[in-house]
Amino acid sequence: MQERLVDRHPEVPADQLVAQMVPPPMFDEVSFASYIPDPGEPSQAAAVGKAEEFAEQVAKIHHAANKKNLFGKKKQIDGAGLYLDGGFGVGKTHLLASIFHSAPAPKSFGTFGELTNLVGALGFNNAVDRLAANSVLCIDEFELDDPGDTMLVSRLLTELSARGVSIAATSNTLPGQLGEGRFAAQDFMREIKKLGAIFAAVRVDGPDYRHRDLPPAPEPTSPELLAERASATPGSTLDDFDALLKHLSTLHPSKFGALISGVSAVYIDGVHPVADQAVALRIVVLADRLYDASVPVTVSGAKLDQIFSQEMLDGGYRKKYLRAISRLLALSRFEAATA
Measured in whole angstroms, how far is the alpha carbon of residue 333 from the centre of its chain?
A: 21
Closest C-alpha to 318, from 292, 280, 289, 282? 280
Residue 180: band (very low, low, confident or very high) from pLDDT cuts 50, 70, 90: very low
pLDDT for the residue numbered 333? 83
Same-domain pairing of 99 and 143: yes
Res. 175: pLDDT tops 60: no
Instruction: Please report whether residue 11 resides in a domain.
Output: no
Burial label for 242, CB within 10 Å (0-12, 13-18, 19+), is: middle
Radius of gyration of the chain (CA): 21
Q: Containing domain of residue 292, as a range?
A: 210-338
pLDDT for the residue numbered 185? 39
Residues near 73 by beta carbon (within 8 Å), at least 6 away in sequence: none
Higher pLDDT, 252 or 259: 259
Same-domain pairing of 171 and 214: no
Give the side-chain half-sphere CA count within 13 A for 289. 21
271-330 pLDDT, tens per residue? 999 989 999 999 999 999 999 889 999 999 999 989 998 888 888 788 788 889 988 998
Same-domain pairing of 146 and 224: no
Last residue of a domain, which of 174, 207, 240?
207
Higher pLDDT, 11 or 8: 8
Same-domain pairing of 53 and 196: yes
Count of domains observed in the chain = 2
pTM, entire model: 0.73
Tell me the C-alpha distance between 296 and 221, whole Å.
14
Same-domain pairing of 227 and 328: yes
157-167 pLDDT, tens per residue? 999 999 999 99
Closest C-alpha to 137, from 157, 151, 123? 157
